[in-house]
């Protein structure tokens, strides 16, 4: 039995991480893939837990060795999902959860047509702005850039297999898990 690849995408600040934490709490059999990035760790982040933090030179080396399942540049940094750990988990029947951006989701769609692509949407633009600015983890310039990018991402949500509005984390997780289970994940 081969595991399924479940892709979670959506604008920055929409609550993807919170929904994912709830899913993993309920379904510890699903494996969360840890992305690789060139961005600087935020306070409290640990290498290998939130991300694998690497130099741009190391990231480029992995690209050249075709070591990424998907990768993209976002907000000035590179992000990618390393291919081998995902393939290993799927090959033993473990479903794999990826949290990636729109460009990465598009690459996954091309490379793994059986993947389940889920877009997490905010209740409205004002709520997204409140959540993103309320995090206080980036400058107002970066936050404004992420808000502008969010509009483009939301416009592309029709490319996904399922769109979920994250008004309340538990309800969003309920809906996502029910859909994944009905799809064999």
pLDDT tens, N- to C-terminus, the chain (185 residues): 578 999 999 988 888 999 999 999 999 999 999 999 999 999 999 999 999 999 999 999 999 999 999 998 878 999 999 999 999 999 999 999 999 888 899 999 998 888 999 999 988 777 777 766 666 665 666 767 777 788 889 999 999 999 999 999 999 999 999 988 888 77
Q: What domains lie within the chain, and their CATH numbers? A: 5-182 (3.40.50.300)
Radius of gyration of the chain (CA): 16
The answer to whether 85 and 5 are in contact (CB under 8 A) is no
- Find where tokens 């990768």 sit: 71
pLDDT in tens, 9-58: 998 888 899 999 999 999 999 999 999 999 999 999 999 999 999 999 99
Alpha carbon 161 to chain centroid, angstroms = 15
- Find where tokens 């480029």 sit: 60
């Amino acid at each position: 039995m081969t595991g399924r690849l479940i892709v979670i995408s959506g604008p920055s600040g929409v609550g993807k991480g919170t929904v994912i934490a709830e899913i993993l709490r309920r379904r510890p059999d699903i494996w969360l893939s840890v992305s690789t990035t060139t961005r600087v760790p935020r306070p409290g982040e640990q290498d290998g837990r939130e991300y694998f933090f690497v130099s741009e030179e190391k990231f480029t080396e992995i690209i050249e060795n075709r070591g990424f399942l998907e990768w993209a540049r976002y907000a000035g940094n590179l992000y990618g999902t390393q291919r081998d750990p995902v393939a290993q988990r799927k090959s033993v029947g473990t479903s794999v959860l990826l949290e990636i951006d729109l460009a990465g989701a598009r690459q996954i769609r091309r490379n793994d047509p059986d993947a389940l692509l889920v877009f997490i949407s905010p209740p409205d633009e004002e709520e997204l702005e409140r959540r993103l600015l309320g995090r206080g983890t980036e400058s107002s310039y970066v936050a404004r850039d992420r808000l502008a990018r969010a509009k483009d991402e939301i416009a592309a949500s029709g490319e996904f297999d399922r769109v979920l509005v994250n008004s309340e984390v538990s309800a969003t997780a309920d809906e996502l898990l029910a859909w994944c289970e009905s799809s064999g994940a």
